[in-house]
Amino acid sequence: MKTIIEPFRIKAVEPIRMTTVEERRELIRKADYNLFSLKSKDVLIDLLTDSGTSAMSTMQWSALMQGDESYAGSPSYYRFEAAVKDLMPFKHVIPTHQGRAAEHILTSIVARGHGEGKIVPNNTHFDTTRANFEDAGIDAQDLVIEEGLDPALEYPFKGNMDLDRLNSLLAAKADCIPMIVITITNNAGGGQPVSMANLRGLRAICDKYQKPLFIDSARFAENAYFIKLREDGYEGISVKEIVREMFSYADGMTMSAKKDAFSNMGGWLALNNDEWAEQARTRLIMTEGFPTYGGLSGRDMECIAIGLKEIVNEDYLQYRIRSIEYINERLDSLGVPVMKPAGGHAIFIDARKMLPHITPLQYPGQSLAVALYIQGGIRAVEIGSFMFGRQADGSERPAPMELLRMAMPRRVYTQAQADYIVECFEELRNNIADVSGMVITREPASLRHFTARLRPVESD
């Protein structure tokens, strides 16, 4: 049979409060046209993020009861550590309350008090990763391949780093580069995967210049499944084996367990360097907690340990990837300009192409997000000039792509809700010329998309 069904049963449900277009128009106005400022009870389908929003399994709920809350030496930590090392065999595993805390600790080690003049390349830095580096004075440079910047192009590994550009950068400025980072899958670039060949090439360049390679790993299992599907020689290899090979090329990793570990909270920093690990644990105690809990409860660590076993289940990954493809294909058939091929955790819309009458610095992705919420109560997030347009020096320039991301929580929404998403776009498409651009009325100095206030251009 060709039909792929959800490889789980629903055991508990959460009611959704239904709203009208008129209600939602007023709700988003009161939220200053920033979808982060909406109350979740006013959202029908919440695709703002797949971070911490997944449904936990019966095994995870059962594991909560094993949670040991000892300050030091909790058995929950050792079960968590063993589960991490089973997939990612790094010497040191340092728990944090979520991935951005791991990024912050790593940045403090790399910057060593000041980061001015330093450069950290990545395929594409996501928002908090970039902000952590830039806050320390480090230049966060994106070196994704050219194919990764064309939303309409069909290419199997659009998340790959441009190895030629990386090699040239290192040849010119190796002394300024303390490490290399690669994000799998490439979230800001449309959830696109990185190939094993690219990881091997990165490892060779890092060895040549004696630079550590770190993997930003939140969606590692989805990346591994894409390798199994798309890369020659891996079709017969298990996802678990592919995961272990991916991490064998790295010197360390940061992880948000709120994504591919099915956890509502948690993350970690893992690495092999003893000196860096000692510094990281010292920083951890200052900011997160003791090294055997690091800002997490024992319950959280138990859930992560089970989630890491469940995420490499290939029946689940087949369903996960196919569910994203299904919505992508339906939208594409309507003429909605989607990112191709479909990514792993989200559906990405090319807002620049869908709203050609809105200039990049009037934020077409944010405009589309607002219109989608009004139309159907769907909350998504902009990844474009609203998120990335403000530069470290205070200037503003258009982002390489203007995307709307609809991130699908794991094991949460049904086929009927997927069809509803498509129907909302079908209705929205008929009135797309009426969507107006946005103007920012107030913004913080960094990470403005979380809390900025906006208004429609037409309200001038």
Q: Which helix (H) or strand (E) holds 30?
A: helix 21-30
* Mean predicted confidence (pLDDT) in 37-52: 95
Whether 233 and 329 share a structural domain: no
- Cα 28 versus chain centre, distance: 25
Token pair of 219, please?
Answer: 């969606």
In the sheet where 381-383 sits, what is the strand order?
346-350, 403-407, 381-383
Report how far residue 291's alpha carbon sits from residue 126's, in angstroms, rounded to the nearest whole number. Answer: 26
Q: Is the pLDDT of residue 128 over 90?
A: no
Q: Is the pTM of this model over 0.75?
A: yes
Residue 126 has what pLDDT?
87
pLDDT band for position 389 (50/70/90)? confident
Whether 303 and 320 share a structural domain: no
Q: Is the pLDDT of residue 452 over 70?
A: yes
Whether 277 and 218 share a structural domain: yes
* Mean predicted confidence (pLDDT) in 299-323: 96
Report how far residue 317's alpha carbon sits from residue 204's, in angstroms, rounded to the nearest whole number. Answer: 30
Whether 267 and 375 share a structural domain: no
pLDDT band for position 44 (50/70/90)? very high
* Mean predicted confidence (pLDDT) in 338-354: 95
pLDDT band for position 113 (50/70/90)? low
* Mean predicted confidence (pLDDT) in 401-416: 94
Mean pLDDT taken over the chain: 94
268, 287, 310 — which closes off a domain?
A: 310
- Any domain includes 10: no
- Direct distance between the N- and C-terminal alpha carbons of the chain, in angstroms, rounded to an integer: 56
Whether 157 and 139 share a structural domain: yes
Report how far residue 349's alpha carbon sits from residue 326's, in angstroms, rounded to the nearest whole number. Answer: 14
Instruction: List residues bridging with 300 in a β-sheet.
Output: none
Range of the domain at 161: 58-310
Whether 273 and 359 share a structural domain: no
Overall residue count recorded for the chain in this entry: 460
Residue 459 has what pLDDT?
53
Report how far residue 421's alpha carbon sits from residue 6's, in angstroms, rounded to the nearest whole number. Answer: 18
Residue in this structure with the two tokens 């990405």, named with its chain if needed: 348
Residues 19-36 pLDDT 10s: 999 999 999 999 999 999
* Mean predicted confidence (pLDDT) in 234-246: 98
Contact 383, 406 (CB under 8 A): no
Instruction: List residues bridging with 454 in a β-sheet.
Output: 440
Where residue 326 sits, what CATH number does that domain have?
Answer: 3.90.1150.10
Where residue 238 sits, what CATH number does that domain have?
Answer: 3.40.640.10
Q: Is the pLDDT of residue 122 over 90?
A: yes
Q: Is the pLDDT of residue 188 over 90?
A: no
- Any domain includes 13: no
Q: Which helix (H) or strand (E) holds 381?
A: strand 381-383
Q: Is the pLDDT of residue 116 over 90?
A: no
Provide DSSP, 108-148. HHHHTT--TT-EEEES---HHHHHHHHHTT-EEEE-B-GGG
* Mean predicted confidence (pLDDT) in 208-214: 97
Residues 259-297 pLDDT 10s: 999 999 999 999 999 999 999 999 999 999 999 999 999
272, 287, 310 — which closes off a domain?
A: 310
Report how far residue 261's alpha carbon sits from residue 306's, in angstroms, rounded to the nearest whole number. Answer: 8
293, 310, 327 — which closes off a domain?
A: 310
Q: Is the pLDDT of residue 442 over 80?
A: yes
Neighbours of 189 (CB within 10 A): 28
Residue 1 has what pLDDT?
55
* 228 or 136, greater pLDDT: 228
Q: Is the pLDDT of residue 62 over 70?
A: yes
Whether 97 and 166 share a structural domain: yes
* 147 or 137, greater pLDDT: 147
Q: Is the pLDDT of residue 460 over 70?
A: no
Q: Which helix (H) or strand (E) holds 141?
A: strand 139-142
Whether 219 and 344 share a structural domain: no
Tell me which residues are annotated as active site: 71, 126-127, 216, 218, 259, 449
- Any domain includes 5: no
3-state SS, residue 367:
helix
Q: How many domains, in total, are found in the chain? A: 2
- Tell me how far CA of residue 382 lies from CA of 174, 364, 450, in angstroms: 34, 9, 11
pLDDT band for position 140 (50/70/90)? very high
* 389 or 245, greater pLDDT: 245
pLDDT band for position 352 (50/70/90)? very high
Whether 384 and 292 share a structural domain: no
* Mean predicted confidence (pLDDT) in 340-356: 95
Q: Is the pLDDT of residue 149 over 90?
A: yes
Residue in this structure with the two tokens 């090294």, named with its chain if needed: 291
* Mean predicted confidence (pLDDT) in 30-58: 95
Residue 229 has what pLDDT?
97
Residue 357 has what pLDDT?
95
